Amino acid sequence: MVSTTPRVSLASDRDSPIPWYSTGFAVVTLIAGLRLLLHLLTANRYGYFRDEMYYLDCGRHLAWGYVDQPPMIGLIAWFIRHVLGTSLLAIRFLPALAGAGLVALTGYIAHQLGGRRYAMGLSALAMALSGVFVINGHLLTMNVFEPLIWMGCASVVIRIIQTGNQKLWLWFGLLCGIGLETKYSMAVFGLGMVVGVLLTSERKALAHKWIWIAGVLALIIFLPNLLWNIHYDWPFVQLMHNIKAEGRDVVLNPLQYMLEQILMVNPFAFPLWLAGLGWLFFGREGRRYRVLGWAYVVELTIWIILHGKNYYAAPAYPMLFAAGGVACEQWIERTGRAWLKPAFVIVLLAVSLPFLPIIAPVLPVDQYVRFQQAIHFSPPVNEHGHDASPLPQYYSDELGWEQLVVEIARAYHSLPPDVQAKTAIKVDNFGEAGAVDLFGPKYGLPPAISGHQNYWLWGPREYTGESMILIGEGDPESLPQKFADVEKLGHFAYPMALEETGIYWGQGLKWNLQEVWPETKRWR
């Protein structure tokens, strides 16, 4: 009789599990956490951004749309105001979180594409240092939420390719619908994805019902805003037409546009996202995800043709960084040059971090100006009016707002109390109106009125034009033609801010403000 001895499993017989802190997910979490910390530490560096104050006012007037955007920004601003407050840290907490989340999502997409720790970490690091995304993560705008939705769509498409589960298109449709309620540019990326499906083997999805149902789902989610636009005679279309007619935007030819893409995203990371694009089209493992490459090429081409601003194409770059991380990892391992892994990271950090003040407000204003002069570089402008300050527009538009309101309050309170009660504060643009509405209660001011963007839809309230404080009048010499009496009460200017204006008091508007309000509309 042969006795058998049970086989004892020893720890040495199998690989020990890798601790979580040494995985790619841990590396990505660390990088995302550092990006979040950067934004939180610099949230209070300068001041409120022009658009942020406008969005807070949109949150006071919830609607299915606004002149210059879909409704999501108003809902987010409403939530921030009622849950977090209106301090700089409060309104910038969600954008900071979204920016860090995009870094994490980039690393996850690299994981989806087959990347391991190095690919995940490298792509996340490149995203964390990418100029346009660091700038967006500092401010409450839809530009920081938009890439999360685009990349959510990309992640779903990757999953469909890997599993063949066509029902997942429903998630794509849901995200597209939310994206359309966030920024209309979602339609351009969605079109790019559709073209990618048609040009690749993923066209088999068209034979199933799920992709069509997904399209209907996106339309249903978008429908309230579509009906709002129809009801108000397409405000966004009017706005874009007016901007183009005025020649306000800086128009770039295709070569200039591509050069600004490289500069905007981070010129030192250009080889990484270019490698990612090449991997999606020509890589042995990457070609199955070619739909993502087509989506980028199509949306970029559309923005070039339409002369869109350079940052319109930005939300697609995270997936190229993810693909580039995978391509880099595979190439290094295939060639056996392991020393290149730390070398690439060190070089990327060494050449990117010295330029951090350009994309994150880590320096006081005066020190930043000296820094910019020392390196002989300033970021390109997107609108001709932005060159009025030596600072980048995303910094200069954070300066001087409360000081402007102080000057307006000084003029307002110089009037007799009985006159103040019937005096409207009419301003030229949404930045001035948002500043008055945000800081005005502190200085005893009523909310502003304006013909600019959505303020025109919110109307003149009860004012008739009997007495008006006027800010930002483009042609002050024309005021005597409109009012029985005009007096200049002050002037505002602030170093390196974009606002400079006279402050006037007009009495006895020659027409009833309620009746002539339609003529004040300025959608541009």
Whether pLDDT at 171 is above 60: yes
Name the β-bridge partners of 514. none
* pLDDT at residue 22, as a whole number: 81
d(CA 411, CA 421): 14
Q: Do the Cβ atoms of 437 and 448 come closer than 8 Å?
A: yes
Q: List, for residues 347-393, the tens digit of each pLDDT value.
A: 999 999 999 999 999 999 999 999 999 998 878 776 656 667 789 99
How confident is the model over 490-499, as a mean pLDDT? 92
Q: Which helix (H) or strand (E) holds 487?
A: strand 483-493
pTM of the model: 0.92
* pLDDT at residue 16, as a whole number: 54
Could you tell me the two tokens for 298?
Answer: 């199509």
- CA-closest candidate to residue 94, choices 114, 110, 79: 79
How confident is the model over 77-96, as a mean pLDDT? 97
Backbone angles phi, psi at 202, to 5 degrees: -70, 0
Distance of CA 209 to the CA centre of its chain: 34
Q: Do the Cβ atoms of 147 and 315 come closer than 8 Å?
A: yes
How confident is the model over 267-290, as a mean pLDDT? 96
Backbone angles phi, psi at 332, to 5 degrees: -65, -45
How confident is the model over 495-506, as a mean pLDDT? 92
Instruction: Pick left, alpha or beta for residue 488 (phi over 0 → left; psi -120 to 50 → alpha; otherwise beta).
Output: beta
Query: 285-294, 314-323, 328-337, 371-380: which range is least confident on average?
Result: 371-380
* pLDDT at residue 7, as a whole number: 41
d(CA 108, CA 117): 10
Q: What is the DSSP letter of 507?
A: E
Whether pLDDT at 6 is above 60: no
Name the β-bridge partners of 469. 425, 505
Cα distances (angstroms) measured from residue 420 to each of 318, 337, 413, 448: 53, 75, 7, 13
Q: List, for residues 434-483, the tens digit of each pLDDT value.
A: 999 999 999 999 999 999 999 999 999 999 999 999 998 877 888 999 99
* pLDDT at residue 10, as a whole number: 37
- Per-residue pLDDT band for 513 (boundaries 50, 70, 90) equals very high
Helix (H, G, I), strand (E, B) or coil at 471: strand
Could you tell me the two tokens for 142?
Answer: 């839809």
Q: By percentage, how much of the chain surpasses pLDDT 70?
A: 96
**Higher pLDDT pick, 19 / 195:** 195
Q: What is the DSSP letter of 450?
A: E
Q: List, for residues 411-440, the tens digit of each pLDDT value.
A: 999 999 999 999 999 999 999 999 999 999
Name the β-bridge partners of 231. none
Where do we find the tokens 């597209």?
176
What average pLDDT does the chain have?
93
d(CA 366, CA 464): 44
Contact partners, residue 114, CB within 8 Å, separation at least 6: 285, 326
Q: List, for residues 293-315, the tens digit of each pLDDT value.
A: 999 999 999 999 999 999 999 99
- CA-closest candidate to residue 275, choices 317, 336, 334: 317
Axis-axis angle for helices 146-163, 290-306 (nearest 10) = 150
* pLDDT at residue 362, as a whole number: 96
Return the C-alpha torsion angle 14, 15, 20, 23, nearest 10.
-150
d(CA 517, CA 502): 22
